[in-house]
Chains A and B, each alone.
Chain A
Amino acid sequence: MATVSTNDFKNGLKLMFEGEPSTILDNETVKPGKGQAFNRVKIRKLISGKVLEKTIKAGESFELADVMECSLDFLYSDGEFWHFMNPETFEQIAAEEKALGDNIKWLVEQSSCIITLWNDNPIIVTPPNFVELEVTETDPGLKGDTAGTGGKPATLITGAVVRVPLFIQIGEVIKVDTRTGEYVSRVSK
């Protein structure tokens, strides 16, 4: 397996840290004029999602993590695995629920997701930044109300709950930003 030294550190580099593939978020070198240099790094462990700050002796080497990202279409879930397909090669891959985490609530069939693979196993499923989902449940609101007031909660077809403007009705399709979980707009059918 390829290794990297602290001089290779840059934001976004994926390496093995405490047995877990991790990505570097921030890296600062601390070097006294006379003495040992250190790296202060902020890393995110990709599986647990934990963000840690660590001090490393400059010159130490680390194993690179065999991590790659690919864009796959979500096919279906059989309750145990979530199945995805490469739309060009038709190759399929199954992800466990823990790879989806909170993102489960944004997955709709046919949507194109970013799958992070570690040693060819899916460890993170990232939904598209924007998804369009049908409202299945919400209180009836006032006609003529506009976005910007407090709004009301609405349950979407995937089970996700987002705050929507009062004029949104059951059966309408809305656009949601999956990174913030916020309502963006109504989608005209």
Chain B
Amino acid sequence: MIAGFFIFKKEEAPMTWQPTATIDTLKQRAKILAQIREFFALRDVFEVDTPAMSQATVTDVHLHTFATEFVGPGYANGQKLYLQTSPEFHMKRLLCAGSGAIYQICKSFRNEESGRYHNPEFTMLEWYRPGFDHVALMAEMDQLLQLVLRTLPSDKMSYQQVFIEQLGVDPLTADLELLRQTAMAYDLGDFVATESNKDTLLQLLFCFKIEPHIGQERPIMIYDFPASQAALAKICPIDPRVAQRFEVYYRSIELANGFHELTDAQEQQSRFEADNQQRIAQGLSAQPIDVKLISALDSGLPDCAGVALGIDRLVMLALGKKHINQVLGFDIQGC
């Protein structure tokens, strides 16, 4: 009894059933969601609701998925199901089936992510616009931000230009050695000296030496990421060194990521396979490729642009909150 009492006093934070966000914050959050739904209703973009679980998952080397198992009729031996890291694959299958413009506000799940701006379960707004490219979608994103955050029109700058302006380094021509030296000059960690992945160094420099200094007065959209960080974006037909991908940053928060979507099934398959090879090289397990998505792309994804925006971060910015748990009813510690 006495030992237990001491352990409780020493180790445990006091248990609370209370939400981490105030009820007032949750009411304001609901208003923002209503505002977003109205924004899309006015534009004839219709709301969809796709599964949170899937038999396949993303191959992205930097995403860690949750998985569970379904046992039931037809699946007596069990079927592994992954919690989706974003609704992208299912939404693209709807687009391939002829849905037209769609949006979704849903829970997404990413393991190993928790902190001031991350909760392993979070709310994502994702929308797709057939006929749009990434430039047209950036313009629509800007209208949404001006509506919800009451911001001034966003700045726009290419990935190459922002690196040159902030660090004096051209990310598209710099070799590994120059990137290492730049990161070492800023004392960005001991691993830098032996880092052999250019993208890791670019992401390091971007996170610590660019992101904190841009988009402070108004949001900024950074576009044309290096082709090596294309993810699911089209490669630029004019400059194959870059992909038609953009990211939105505001007040040191990464808010959204968008693509002029890759429509080529063959290339998508190769990118997934290349991811899996990289995963194996890093000692991670290969992920099952979403063959239903590849099959849908094969039948034809309309030319479109799509973007995913973190709702919790948007609410943080709208209400001036400093930690994601202030805009969530129950964060990972309280759920």
Contacts and interface: CB of A to CB of B under 8 A. Distances in A.
A31 B200 contact: no
B191 A36 contact: no
Contact of B190 (A7, A38, A54): A54
Interface stretch (B15-23, B108-116, B155-163, B294-302): B108-116
A34 interface: yes
B170 interface: no
Interface in A33-54: 33-38, 40, 54
Interface string B200-212: 1001101110000
Contact of A56 (B62, B112, B189): B189
Given A28-B116, A29-B115, A35 B229 contact: yes
Contact of A55 (B60, B189, B199, B257): B189
Contacts of B200: 35-36, 57
A30 interface: yes
Given A7-B112, A35-B203, A29 B118 contact: yes
B257 A36 contact: no
A60 interface: yes
B208 A55 contact: yes
A32 B191 contact: no
B254 A55 contact: no
B92 to A, nearest CB: 17
Contacts of B118: 29, 31
A169 to B, nearest CB: 43
Nearest to B230: A34
A30 B207 contact: yes
Contacts of B189: 38, 54-57
B114 to A, nearest CB: 7
A37 to B, nearest CB: 7
B231 A34 contact: yes
Nearest to B310: A33
Interface in B197-248: 197, 199-200, 203-204, 206-208, 229, 231, 247
A29 B188 contact: no
Contact of A29 (B114, B197, B247): B114
Nearest to A35: B203
A31 B191 contact: no
Contact of A34 (B191, B229, B310): B229
B278 to A, nearest CB: 12
The winner among A31, A33, A38, A60 for most chain B CB atoms within 10 A is A33
A33 B203 contact: no
Contacts of B206: 32
A32 B206 CA distance: 9
Contact of A32 (B116, B188, B197, B203): B203
A164 B112 CA distance: 53
Contacts of A54: 189-190
Contact of A33 (B112, B115, B195, B254): B254
Given A29-B113, A37-B62, A56 B191 contact: yes
A38 B308 CA distance: 22
B114 A34 contact: no
Contacts of B199: 35-36
Nearest to B202: A35
Contact of B257 (A33, A38, A57): A33
A60 B191 contact: yes
5 contacts: A7-B112, A29-B114, A31-B115, A38-B207, A57-B195
Given A18-B190, A36-B199, A55-B204, 14 more contacts: A7-B112, A28-B115, A28-B116, A29-B114, A29-B115, A29-B118, A31-B62, A31-B118, A33-B308, A34-B229, A36-B200, A54-B190, A57-B191, A57-B195
Q: Ordered nearest first, which 7 A-B pairs have the shortest CB separation?
A: A55-B189, A35-B203, A29-B115, A36-B200, A55-B188, A33-B257, A36-B203
